[in-house]
Amino acid sequence: MATNLFVGNLPYSFDDVKLTELFAQAGKVVSAKIISDKYSGRSRGFGFVQMSTDEETKAAIEKFNGFQVDGRPLVVNEARPMQPRN
């Protein structure tokens, strides 16, 4: 199974559909999710994308890490496992 990607520094106007469309340029997107604030519902400026293969995952990192969207350089890397909260 392909690795989950962390995508940071996203424009706040981005939604799941825009994120999917962007990453589809690098291959088949299995899932794309913008993380939003649970109180306001507004984007928190980051999300997660899962590509269908490891090759597509690597291609997405190479293509989109530092890629400019609305004047903002994206940060794209392998997502780290979520740490337990105390």
The dotted CATH code for 4-78 is: 3.30.70.330
All structural domains of the chain with their residue ranges:
4-78
Cα 54 to its chain centre, rounded Å, is 15
pLDDT at 71: 94
Query: 10 CB contacts (<8 Å, ≥6 apart)?
Result: 19, 34, 43, 45, 46, 47, 69, 72, 74
Closest CA relative to residue 10, chosen from 51, 38, 50, 42: 42
Backbone angles phi, psi at 48, to 5 degrees: -135, 140
Query: 15 CB contacts (<8 Å, ≥6 apart)?
Result: 34, 43
Task: Please name every residue paired with 81 in a beta bridge, in sequence order, or none if there are none.
Answer: none
pLDDT tens, per residue, the chain with 86 residues:
568 999 999 999 999 999 999 999 999 999 999 999 999 999 999 999 999 999 999 999 999 999 999 999 999 999 988 778 77
